[in-house]
A and B are shown apart, each in its own frame.
Chain A
Amino acid sequence: MPQEQERRSQQSQQSSQTDGQETARVESDFAEQASGLDALLDDIESTLETNAEEYVSSFVQKGGE
């Protein structure tokens, strides 16, 4: 158990460091990515079913839980 906790806390430390780095990287990357979303929209539009209306109307589920 002690080993396990140590491993877990090391992982967490790594991840909290990564969090900081990630935020910094993400902010700078995302400056360019604002226009990136526009570029992706073409791909996304082609991903969507050609007949969006049929896709939406056929997505019918029953309640759950």
Chain B
Amino acid sequence: MTVLRVMGTETEYAVTDRANPRANPVQLSFDVVDGAADDDRRHIRWDYRGEDPVNDARGYRLERASARRDMLTDSPQLQVVNTIAPNGGRIYVDHAHPEYSAPETLDPFQALLYDRAGDRLMLVAAREASVRTGKRIELFRNNVDGKGASWGSHESYQILRSVPFDLLIAIMTPHFVTRQIYCGTGRVGLGERCETAGFQLSQRADYVHAKVGLQTTFDRPIINTRDESHSTDRYRRLHVIVGDANRMDTPEALRLGTTSMIAWLAEHADEVGYDLTALACRLTPADPVEAIHMVSHDLTLQQPYATEGGGTITAWQTQVLLRSAVYEVAAGVYGTDIDGEPLWPDEPTKRIMAMWGTALEDVARVAHADDEERMGMTGAAGRLEWLLKWQLMERLRTRRGLGWNDPKIRAMDIAWAALEPRASVFEAVRAHAISLIDDAALDGARTTAPASTRAWLRAEVVRRFPNDVVAASWRSITVRGGDGQLHDIDIADPGEHTEAACRAMLEPVGTVDDLIRACSAER
């Protein structure tokens, strides 16, 4: 694996009823999911057998009796509404938010594309729900309400289980603390309840309170240890909960791409004798929770944090060193060309490494600029979401003489995230942000699954045999055969069951019994 690995996003949306500010968000979420469900697939249940939210990657299990009810995501009676999206993803109610889990993809650009396709699907679902219910349902792609509540935009990465989890924690921690300098969406207000007026780089940072942990809804950790691989024994799934919901493409591609490359680093450092533990020690903050808050609040981008190893380092320096380590190990693993550039084995990796470099140049330039210069940095603002948001707000503040806690500025932050284009501040400035996705691809990704993962077979079986599919999950599809019995189609390996592997097998299949026979023959 390189930057190419099985990965995907889960996005929770804020939901409101413009006509009734007191509307119950759980009901609104159910309305949206109902709006997303086609008549022929609304009966399909989610199969929770593969879910194990109390299994901890550190090697132990939380007793179910001591788990808070909101950690038991496999308990179906808590969340009954669920639909399989036509692209193989999943749309469902998670606590008080409608959520879209993108289908499994193989590279960060594809993962970005399918996350954006989810925005479109959810927008259409919200409109449909408004028509059906007479409410004015609106969705927002953000993570905070400024009054204490936060919800997630999660990432998942398939990583070789042979990498010790402690090493993964050690090297991912400094990455998650510092990647916000180019991945941050920007946020108005400091503190969970905007206790202090101001602007910060990240939506999520203030809501992180632990270094490592199993939980996602309270006392949120930098490293989430939920060990629920949805895959074969060879892999673990690193579930990342510290990221921001991005509207801009570049920060999201980088969020996915750089994290995948750090995973690659952990998988390959040993091969060339690189001492990753020493690097981690040099970069890891003495207090990672305090550091993630500080980095997000530091608009100078130059404030150092104390490290575990006894030194100090800035977020930017940490990112430079992480990227250098990837280069060093890649030079050993792949060799280099005459310019010293590693011979990256695939284009997406080459592209992510170049974009990572540009992002760090952008951040360096912004760090050395005063506010007036920052206002004119249009190139960097096309790639850094927090900067574009800041520029716009700073202009309005200057024009109207407003403080950071003025309702107009806070309203702008919320409306930045609105999915409905006519209500969205981001949509108004979209032309200023670099787009990595074309409209035709986006249209296709709403209805067509990624060809190169098991999402293809899931989507294809649901498309062709909707009435026979009883339940689906990430790793299996359950169909009712002609004999009335339930049959599981095993799709445990995310990299198999692709279009290339399965199209020919499905060609002669006409009935669900043919399908069951073909799939068991396959095994």
**A binding-site residues for B, Cβ under 8 Å:** 1, 3-4, 8-9, 12-13, 15-16, 19, 22-23, 26-27, 30-31, 33-34, 36-38, 40-41, 43-45, 47-49, 52-53, 55-56, 58-65
In contact, B12 and A52 (Cβ under 8 angstroms): no
How far, in whole Å, are A1 and B344 apart by their CA atoms in the complex?
Answer: 20
Enumerate B493-512 residues with CB–CB distance to A below 8 Å: 498-501
In contact, B392 and A64 (Cβ under 8 angstroms): no
Known contacts A15-B109, A65-B95, A65-B154; decide if A59 and B414 are in contact (CB<8 Å). yes
In contact, B432 and A52 (Cβ under 8 angstroms): no
How far, in whole Å, are A33 and B380 apart by their CA atoms in the complex?
Answer: 13
Stretch from B74-82, B127-135, B299-307, B422-430 that touches the partner: B422-430
| Closest CB in chain A relative to B478 CB, distance in Å | 27
Q: Return chain A residues, CB-CB under 8 Å to B145.
A: 59-61
Cβ 8 A contact of B452, one of A4, A13, A43: A4
Q: Say if the beta carbon of B484 comes within 8 Å of chain A.
A: no
Quick one: closest A residue to B152, CB to CB?
A65
Cβ 8 A contact of B149, one of A34, A47, A48, A63: A63
The 4 closest A-B pairs by CB, nearest first: A64-B151, A30-B378, A12-B347, A58-B21
| Closest CB in chain A relative to B454 CB, distance in Å | 14
Known contacts A61-B97, A65-B154; decide if A44 and B25 are in contact (CB<8 Å). no
Q: Say if the beta carbon of B407 comes within 8 Å of chain A.
A: yes
| Most-contacted residue by chain B among A1, A4, A30, A65 (CB, 10 A) | A65
In contact, B150 and A63 (Cβ under 8 angstroms): yes
Cβ 8 A contact of A41, one of B217, B347, B392: B392
In contact, A37 and B432 (Cβ under 8 angstroms): yes
Give the interface size class of chain B.
Answer: 35 or more
Enumerate B457-516 residues with CB–CB distance to A below 8 Å: 498-501
**B binding-site residues for A, Cβ under 8 Å:** 12, 14-16, 21, 25-26, 94-97, 99, 109, 145-147, 149-152, 154, 216-218, 220, 241, 346-348, 350-351, 354-355, 358, 375-376, 378-379, 381-382, 391-392, 395-396, 399, 406-408, 410-412, 414-415, 422-425, 428-429, 431-432, 434-436, 451-452, 498-501
In contact, A61 and B414 (Cβ under 8 angstroms): no
In contact, B12 and A48 (Cβ under 8 angstroms): no
How far, in whole Å, are A9 and B4 apart by their CA atoms in the complex?
Answer: 12
How far, in whole Å, are A12 and B340 apart by their CA atoms in the complex?
Answer: 22
| Most-contacted residue by chain B among A26, A40, A62 (CB, 10 A) | A62
